[in-house]
């Protein structure tokens, strides 16, 4: 819960660049776990398309179809499903 409001939350690791390897990502996940914070299992990878889309006023579902944008969208779709959005319960 986010004190003092008592709001439920999960920490989402984002802007992870897979080209840098998994060590930083894994250390960040371990730190979050050690602090006892609830976290999402899905990690959002860093893609330039996210920066450009924000500047263009687009959301992830409006990205053009190509290999990179499909992977970028996939991260957010996995997160939405993990959090219980986008389907029947």
pLDDT at 44 over 90: yes
pLDDT band at 38 (very low <50, low <70, confident <90, very high): very high
Q: Is residue 12 part of a domain?
A: no
- pLDDT average, residue stretch 37-56: 92
Q: Which domain holds residue 71?
A: 18-82
Q: Is residue 72 part of a domain?
A: yes
Crossing angle between the packed helical segments 48-56 and 67-82, to the nearest 10 degrees: 80
Identify the pLDDT of residue 88: 60
Q: Is residue 64 part of a domain?
A: yes
pLDDT band at 31 (very low <50, low <70, confident <90, very high): very high
Q: Is residue 37 part of a domain?
A: yes
Identify the pLDDT of residue 68: 87
Distances, alpha carbon 66 to alpha carbons 38, 70, 72, 73, in Å: 33, 6, 10, 11
Q: Is residue 7 part of a domain?
A: no
The 10s digit of each residue's pLDDT in 10-25 is: 999 999 998 999 999 9
Q: How many domains does the chain have?
A: 1
**Angle (nearest 5°) at CA 22 between 14 and 68:** 55
Identify the pLDDT of residue 3: 67
Q: Is residue 3 part of a domain?
A: no
Q: Is residue 89 part of a domain?
A: no
- pLDDT average, residue stretch 65-78: 91
Q: Is residue 5 part of a domain?
A: no
């Amino acid at each position: 819960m986010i004190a003092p409001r008592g709001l439920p939350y999960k920490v989402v690791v984002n802007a992870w660049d897979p080209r840098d390897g998994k060590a930083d990502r894994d250390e960040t996940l371990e730190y979050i776990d050690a602090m006892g914070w609830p976290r999402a299992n899905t990690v959002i990878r860093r893609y330039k398309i996210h920066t450009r889309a924000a500047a263009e006023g687009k959301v992830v579902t409006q990205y053009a179809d190509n290999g990179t944008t499909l992977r970028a969208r996939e991260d957010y779709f996995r997160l939405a499903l993990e959090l219980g959005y986008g389907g029947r319960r």
